[in-house]
Structure 1
Amino acid sequence: MITNTELEIKGNLFPGKIISFSQNVDKINFTTENGVILQVTILRGSVIRFRYATDNNFENDFSYAISETGVRGYSVLEVEDHNEEYVIITKKLKIHIAKANINVVIKDTADNVICKDDWGFHWEQSYEYGGNIVKMSKNAPQGECYYGLGDKPMHLNLKGKRIENWATDQYAFGKDQDPLYKSVPFYIGMHEERAYGIFFDNTFRTFFDFCHERRNVTSFWAQGGEMNYYFFYGPDMQGVVTRYTDLTGKPELPPLWALGYHQCKWSYYPESKVKEVANKFRELQIPCDAIYLDIDYMEGFRCFTWNKEYFPDPKRMVAELAEDGFKTIVIIDPGIKIDQEYGVFKEALDNDYFCKRADGPYMRGKVWPGECFFPDFTNPEVREWWAGLFKELIDEIGVKGVWNDMNEPAVMEVPGKTFPNDVRHDYDGNPCSHRKAHNIYGTQMARATYEGIKQFGYPKRPFVITRSAYSGAQRYTSSWTGDNIATWEHLWIANIQAQRMSMSGMSFTGSDIGGFAEQPTGELYARWIQLGVFHPFCRTHSSGDHGDQEPWTFGKEVIDVTRKFVELRYQLLPYLYTMFWDYVEQGIPMLKSLVLYDQEDIQTHYRTDEFIFGNQILVCPVQEPNSKGRRMYIPRGNWFNYWTREYVNGGGEQWVDADLDSIPMFIKEGAIIPKYPIQQYVGEKKIDQLTLEVYYKLGDKEVSKVYEDAEDGYDYSKGRYSLRTFTFTGKEQEIIIQQHKNGTFITDYETMEIELIGIPFVIKQIEIDNVTVVLKDVHFDPKKNTIVVPKGFTELHIEA
């Protein structure tokens, strides 16, 4: 145990013994003899903040990551003073603070150790920059596993890895390459099936070491700022993720069309090419809702301009695309070309909105337009100005969404590919260098973009996509995983990244389907589209350097596979929309790695390929060429093979057939899966009937939900939504389906077609709300086991 007042190991300084203690409602302060203060804040019974100061001095308490709408409050808070320690008691936790050195041990109410300090808090003075390099080390018991940390392209379980968070433009990145585009300093630890989370809210360059340097120690540190972290207790992993997502903020619902299929390339131009691609989708009957314009739509790559040679009348073009169901998305980068004749540049220059170097000159860097200056998005006045620039694009031309790229920020032809450390930022009134602002620059750009689209697109919901992000970015934007490569390894990476982003609070994420760099084979593209339709954000994107990458590039077989799976996504839109509703309301991740789904099954702790889409659909992509199937792990419980309707017992590995036109896909028994008719785009058809696929289960009840609203706009926030909760009860000779409805939204359809799958008896009688009905009156089809019932039923009995 470290007891020295200022013990020093290799230049590290440590806290001394506690000399005073004070409490102010939910904040408890411990001060040591050498000027270290530990402030413990109880946000909830299972969410605790630990904040450390040296020299008796805290920084101004400001964070871009923390949501103002997160849940606060607790029912129990006691502090006990013992001989050698203080003990803080909440309803869920006991927090032991050692008087000798403020080391922390966190236990549950049954006195199981959840997380304990090793060296605990220590620091090193930074003579180069001033301030401290702040460090924390935790004990890592044997068998503890680690997950999270955003877009890292490595094994889902991070045990043995060392991770760096520094938003970096990594074109054609590789497996295990680090750092990448995003900085999400949140991880989940799990030991003996008890999970906890730690969010290190520090925007400097941060590092995490999961037993890499020392076998039984996990540590994290930052090159400046404060040691400021939040602890979340589960004990279930999903509870950890939902509490973290609540703290850092949940998104609002996107428009339903944003969950459709999107097509993108660097670059679709001129207008005739855009129209050609759009027309081909409709001709081939492959559903598509959005088409993207990359940097070539601009005049000399100047943001908020149009190349009038390529796009002589953008408003007309956007309107014509909209008539055919296509929403136009345009790219906007942060670099503003240095050009006195360019209005956006002149306005920002006149108002002093650009980032500056330490000695006064503007930050100058080369990106696509050539020499550029860069807005300081950490300045609220600059964000408001930036938001105002979207008036023409959104309100006048009719663009429906914006894609923010290069916002790490990326700078070409310089060491480090980004701003130098000495660039200055406003940081919302907390002036700082780029060392502190770098990791949140992209998020603040996306925030300003979101605010502009929301202002000028109102009453429709905004759609933004960003490449760079910090914790909390999910409040404003979706994201994609950056410039990947058309290889089978990158198909594996895309699967991992989407799962990891979901468990890191950023569910609305996808990859560039088919790979951005290089050219996929038809087989690789087909397998990638099969995976991509099960990611919350679904977009094909490519660099175009190696040829085209539209579905028809690869021949009829791949066209047919693409159509089949994109159609499946459109059929599953009500299921996907309901997943998003759960994410928005409760912070529940939209994709669940098997360990997130069933952490008590030790077999799941190192699985990477399989995942749960929503709550009831199991998916496992085929990730090797020339495969007719694969071995996969079926989680515990019972499942139905979606394609064959075969009943499968889980809890083990098995071979699953999957020709090129199939992906291993299973439905949880008892699930009720909602489907819409196939549409070429959202809103093409009036939904005249909801289909419910009902998968039989004997015994315990199973609950399923269907969320619907007007598909855009904000009426849902005033109660104009429809949330149907179905409870399935299966007996040997009977099925009972109960429906409870919330919300005031009235759907267009009046009936539901129910398909009963796997039932072990022949249907002889049906009761709707205690009234026996004639089978022909519900259009009973004995071959398909389908019936049609009124949408408003409350209880349905189907009997032998």
Structure 2
Amino acid sequence: MRTIQYLFLLFFISSFYAQNNSRFLTGLKQDGNTIKVDVNDGTYFIKYYSTQILETSFIPKGEKINKNSHAVVLEPKKVELVLHSSENKTVVISDGICLDIINKPFQIVYTDKQNNLITSEKRGYFKSKHSPLESVKGNFPYEKTEKIEFNLTADEILYGAGARALGMNRRGKRLPLYNRAQYGYQNYAELMNFTIPVVISSKKYMLHFDNPPIGYLDLDSKKDNSLTYETISGRKTYQVIVGDSWEDLIENYTDLTGKQPIPPRWTLGNFSSRFGYHSQQETEATIAKYKEDNIPVDAIILDLYWFGKTVQGTMGNLEVDKDSFPDMKGMVSHLKEKGVKTVLITEPFILSTSSKWDEADKKQVLAKDTIGNSAKYDFYFGNTGIVDIYKKEGREWFWNIYKEILGYGVKGLWGDLGEPEVLPSWVNFGEKKKADEIHNIYGHDWAKLIFEGYQKDFPTERPFILMRAGYSGSQRFGMIPWSGDVSRSWGGLQSQPEISLQMGMQGLGYMHSDLGGFAGANLDDNLYVRWLQYGVFQPIFRPHAQEDVASEPVFRSDFAKKHAKKAIELRYKMLPYNYNLAFENNQKGTPLMRPIFFEENDQKLMTTYSTYLWGKDFLVTPILKDSIRNTKVVFPKNANWFNFYFDEDKVEGGQTKTVKVKQKAIPTYVRGGVIIPLTKVVQTTDNYNGNYLELHYWFDNSVKESERTIYNDDGLTANAFENGAYELLEFEADIEKKYLEIDLEAEFGKNWKPTQKEVVLILHNINWKPKRVNVAGKRIKTDVVNNTLKIPVKWNTEKELKIKISLK
């Protein structure tokens, strides 16, 4: 029966999809997880990493196999494969991805175990004339490029290709794979700092092209149902990844390319940042203002003035300008005493006018020109060279500078301009690597250098690595990406949810924006407030901008400061919930921000980003236009939703509803029938106490049972979970005939000491007066106020605690 089904599928595919008529099979052999397929012009190696992850590499005749991957870290698991061969095809059956290998004309077809088509090669690999896009014409001086072409079905929606502002569906575009900054972009930008060779289909599969050199992704720009990867050189290797759900798909991809380490808890707090703080006095005065205004803050970021008084001519000094910062170590220490961590900017460029040039040139740690000298070229900041991180000497020299910086007590490192911002094609790196071969992974490998340095010299510390450019797999180095120099405008704000949602699906779950916008001197308090209100529900809360207009709330109008303070305080109240999102991301790759189609797999919602999910249980609709009174909110089905800020009737899922917009908050809803953990506001996460929790529960009689788990550790120590230094708190809610029962349980790692917790259970939507409330079997007195019931309890986490509330 299986063979008959495959024959029908092959007839269907060969009838509708073009193939490479000049390629034909000459031999096929299985070796464990790998199928070696010889064709007249080369060899295919098809390797299973798991039943849901498969890699295909094509080696043209005359070339050698290159097994080096910048992205893949997964070790293959044994997969049971069954092969059936007939006159013109071989069928490879697994418990996940299956193959049809057609002999002549040669074609590879990928299906699932139910014989549903996933994707198929169209012409597969070929070379042809290079047709450069105008936007990168000067960066792609190549007559021919290598291509791998696939078939698409007419109804597929396509995501991926890195950080772009295009709308959620990227089908119809031919997009450069060439990391490049886009200064002052607004709601449309085809090329930005993170270009990633990943395509995600609405059919829940991914294609990852495992090759660093520059190129293109053509997502059916010719409207002929084709997807084409195009490159100047390198590996002809791609992985096909599938999943049973969106979460499963992203977990498989991040199994393949690596999981993001849990960042230190303080990174979920508020940052003070601008371009930039000119002196120690200005830095300390800024934090003093936060303290005076009682606005929580956890970090301050120093831009390039820490090593030079001017923007141009000083980059590459990478040592403290003692005129402006006479006591850097003392300043960092004093700020730390206030709970504020210091982050310093660095760049990979060493200007020929900088104090480090002679040393870097003498030690041969810079990339080379065509005759072997340290390469020099001009860009905005001056005449420069770039650190060769592909040479051992370059890596060691750069890391020694970082060790000196960290020796000041600095707790975070900012890597800027790592696209690299300017990198001519003629520059050479390391072991005969051309600039265009490493251009896209320079930021990726720079993050790797820092991450591995931490592992060697600071093994117990979690790094904070803020970077503007990277590539597929960069998340495993703890990279915290941001969306570049966005315009300080409503157009700039409008593109931000899309960028973060797309990047989260591509493994980089901490993509965030310069809150308030970066580029331009636009003083718009309403824009600023709406951007910060959105920022509560995006991964990193970091207002940052050019200094013409203050980015810090403490220097804004009373109106802006008041609403910014409320947003920041809510961010701190959400620490338990948000920290658990970081744990989920670490364990499964699940993004912190999630498209609404993760909840409701409806084709009509596949391009929606105006409403999204923050974790599993918050539904957020940012205000992206000025002075609007009403907005539409998409409420996913399979749940009812309650207004997080205001006491309103529940909203049934499965509808789009127009809601009134209020100044104090953006439309935010929570899932009914689940427990959401919050805490008290603290002025710094140093004062965060995981032993105090507010457990909020919105009663929904239709949700008979629910369970949520939150993760906690010390928030600082690397690999706390792996080393058993953690607790998992489990909250269950069950509605029986006469009672609502809330159960609190805990599990502990082997190196965690359990503690008693002070818990306030806050039940919303309680429109009756319970006759009985029992805590651990004892009746207590309570009262319902404004449809809300508060039950304070002491919880010895070594024991289960049961709370029962009568439904009448």
TM over 0.5: yes
In structure 2, distance between residues paired with 1:38 and 1:406? 38
Q: In the alignment, is residue 656 of structure 1 matched against residue 633 of structure 2? A: no
**SS of the residue 1:133 aligns to:** strand
Between the aligned partners of 1:126 and 1:498, the Cα distance in structure 2 is 32
Which letter maps to 2:770? I
Amino acid at match of 1:173: Y
Alignment partners' CA distance in 2, 1:699 and 1:549: 43
Matched, 1:324 2:338: yes
Mapped pair 1:48 → 2:51: no
CA shift digits 1:634-676 (9 cap, x unpaired): 1112111111243111212111222221111011112211112
3-state SS, counterpart of residue 475 of structure 2: helix
Q: 1:520 & 1:527 partners in 2: Cα distance?
A: 13
Shift of residue 487 of structure 1?
A: 0.9
- Matched with 2:605 is 604
How is 1:431-450 mapped onto 2 (pairs within 5 angstroms)?
431-450=432-451
Counterpart contact for 2:523–2:549, Cα < 8 Å:
no
Matching residue's letter, 1:682: T
Which of residues 40, 44, 51 is equivalent to 1:38? 44
Q: Please say if residues 515 and 543 of structure 2, whose CA atoms lie closer than 8 Å, have aligned partners that are also in contact.
A: yes
The corresponding residue for 1:388 is: 400
Instruction: Give 1:237's aligned residue.
Output: 246
Query: 2: distance between equivalents of 1:460 and 1:368?
Result: 35
Change over 3 Å in CA distance of 1:553–1:130 after alignment to 2 = closer
**Aligned twin of 1:727:** 732
Matched residue SS, 2:777: strand
Q: State which of 83, 88, 104 in structure 2 corresponds to 1:79.
A: 83
Greater alpha carbon shift after TM alignment, 276-285 vs 397-406: 276-285
Q: Give the match for residue 710 of structure 1.
A: 714
What pairs with 1:183-198 in structure 2 (closer than 5 Å)? 183-190=195-202, 194-198=203-207
Partner-residue secondary structure (3-state), 2:495: helix
In structure 2, which of residues 198, 219, 226 is the aligned counterpart of residue 217 of structure 1?
226
Mark the CA change 1:739 to 1:99 in structure 2 (over 3 Å): closer, same or farther. farther
- 1:580-591 residue pairs with structure 2 within 5 A? 580-591=582-593
- Tell me if the contact between 1:132 and 1:225 (Cα under 8 Å) persists in the aligned partners: no
Note closer, same or farther for the CA distance 1:232–1:250 as it changes in structure 2 (3 Å cut).
Answer: same
Bigger mean CA offset, 108-117 vs 13-22? 13-22
1:182 partner SS = coil
What residue identity is the alignment partner of 2:508?
M
Aligned pairs for 1:343-382 within 5 A: 344-367=356-379, 370-382=382-394
How many Å apart are 1:747 and its aligned residue? Answer: 5.9
SS of residue paired to 1:538: coil
- 2:13 matched residue in structure 1: none
| Equivalent position of 1:798 in the other structure | 805
Aligned AA (2:368): K
Identity of aligned residues (%): 25
Select 1:763's aligned residue among 770, 780, 786. Answer: 770
* Residue 250 of structure 1 pairs with residue 262 of structure 2: no
Give the drift of 1:447. Answer: 1.9
| 622-631 vs 377-386, which moves further | 377-386
Matched residues in 2 for 1:85 and 1:310: separation?
72
The answer as to whether partners of 1:118 and 1:138 remain within 8 angstroms in 2 is yes
Partner of 2:126: 122
**Equivalent-residue separation in structure 2 for 1:74 and 1:701 (angstroms):** 38
Partner of 1:207: 216
- The residue type equivalent to 1:51 in the other structure is S
Asked if residue 268 in structure 1 is aligned to residue 277 in structure 2, the reply is yes
CA shift, 1:721, in A, is: 0.4
SS at match of 1:91: coil
Residue number in structure 1 paired with 2:463: 462
On the 8 A contact 2:348/2:386 being kept in 1, the answer is: yes
Whether 2:351 is the aligned partner of 1:337: answer yes
* Paired position in structure 1 for 2:35: 28
The question of whether the paired residues in 2 share the 8 Å contact of 1:124 and 1:133 is answered with yes
Residue of structure 1 equivalent to 2:68: 62
> What is the one-letter code of the residue matched to 1:603?
K
Q: How many residues align?
A: 766
Alignment deviations for residues 322-355 of structure 1 (CA, whole Å, 9 cap, x no partner)? 111111111000111336x93x444433332211
- The 1:312/1:684 distance shift into structure 2, 3 A limit, reads same
Q: Deviations over 1:234-266 (max 9, x none)?
A: 242222222111211112111100111112111
> What pairs up with 1:282-301 in 2 under 5 angstroms?
282-299=291-308, 300-301=314-315
Gaps of 5+ in 1: 3-11, 411-417
Matches within 5 A, 1:161-200: 161-190=173-202, 194-200=203-209
Q: Distance in 2 between matches of 1:317 and 1:552?
A: 20
Residue 504 of structure 1 aligns with which residue? 506
2:233 is paired with a residue of what secondary structure?
Answer: coil
On the 8 A contact 1:14/1:123 being kept in 2, the answer is no
Instruction: Report the equivalent of 2:412.
Output: 401
Tell whether the 8 Å contact from 1:628 to 1:660 is kept in structure 2 after alignment: no
Give 2:4's aligned residue: none
Q: Does the 8 A contact of 1:188 with 1:196 survive in 2?
A: yes
The one-letter code sitting in structure 1 at the alignment partner of 2:60 is T
* Contact residue 53 and residue 97 of structure 2 kept, 8 A: no
SS at match of 1:475: helix
CA distance in 2, matches of 1:337, 1:483: 22
Cα deviation digits, residues 94-147 of structure 1 (max 9, x gap): 211111143121111111112123323322388999997222222222221111
Amino acid in the other structure paired with 1:403:
W
- Paired residue type of 2:271: H
Q: Is the 8 A contact 2:186 2:489 kept in 1?
A: no
Once residues 438 and 49 of structure 2 are traced to their aligned partners in structure 1, the CA distance between those partners, rounded to angstroms, is 26
Encode CA deviations 1:411-437: one digit per residue, 9 max, x unaligned: xxxxxxx222222222xx5x3211111
1:135 aligns to what? 147
Deviation at 1:497, TM superposition (A): 0.8
CA deviation string 1:736-767 (max 9, x = no partner): 23344222334655221111122454323344
- How far apart are residue 627 of structure 1 and its match? 1.8
Q: Distance in 2 between matches of 1:130 and 1:653?
A: 49
Question: What is the TM-score of this pair, normalised by structure 1?
Answer: 0.91
| Inter-partner Cα distance in structure 1 for 2:476 and 2:559 | 40
> Counterpart of 1:286 in 2: which secondary structure?
coil
In 1: Cα distance, 2:240 partner to 2:265 partner: 34
Name the residue aligned to 2:137.
Answer: none
Deviation of 1:730 (Å): 2.6
- Cα separation, 1, equivalents of 2:20 and 2:350: 44
Is the contact made by 2:758 and 2:792 (CA closer than 8 Å) also made in structure 1? yes
Instruction: Deviation per CA, 1:585-622: give whole Å up to 9, x if none.
Output: 111111101123322x2231121211101111111101
Equivalent residue letter for 2:122: D
The answer (yes or no) to whether the contact 1:591–1:613 under 8 Å persists in 2 is yes
AA aligned to 1:304 is L
Task: Check whether the contact 1:38–1:50 (CA below 8 A) recurs between aligned residues.
Answer: yes
**TM-score under structure 2 normalisation?**
0.90
> Offset of 1:14 from its aligned partner?
6.9
Q: Which region of structure 1 is more displaced relative to structure 2, 613-622 or 377-386?
A: 377-386
Q: Using the TM superposition, give the Cα deviation of residue 683 of structure 1 relative to its aligned residue in structure 2, in angstroms.
A: 1.5
Equivalent residue for 1:93, pick from 81, 84, 97: 97
Mapped contact 2:273–2:542 kept (Cα < 8 A): yes
- Alpha-carbon deviation of 1:61? 1.0
- Once superposed, what is the RMSD of the aligned Cα atoms? 2.5
Asked if 1:696 is matched to 2:699, the reply is yes
Q: What's the CA shift for 1:781?
A: 6.0
Q: Give the 3 Å change call, closer, same or farther, for CA 208–71 of structure 1 in structure 2.
A: same
Comparing 133-142 with 666-675, greater Cα deviation is found at 133-142
Q: CA deviation at 1:174?
A: 4.0
Displacement, 1:521?
0.1
Amino acid at match of 1:643: Y
Q: What is the aligned partner in structure 1 of residue 322 from structure 2?
A: 308
Structure 2: which amino acid aligns with 1:153? A
1:108 aligns with 2:112: yes
Q: Which amino acid aligns with 2:373?
A: P
Report if the CA contact (8 A) 1:163-1:178 is conserved: yes
Equivalent-residue separation in structure 1 for 2:147 and 2:287 (angstroms): 53
Q: Which amino acid aligns with 1:469?
A: G
Instruction: Measure, in 2, the Cα distance between the counterparts of 1:181 and 1:301.
Output: 20
Which stretch has the larger CA shift, 523-532 or 120-129? 120-129
SS at match of 1:147: strand
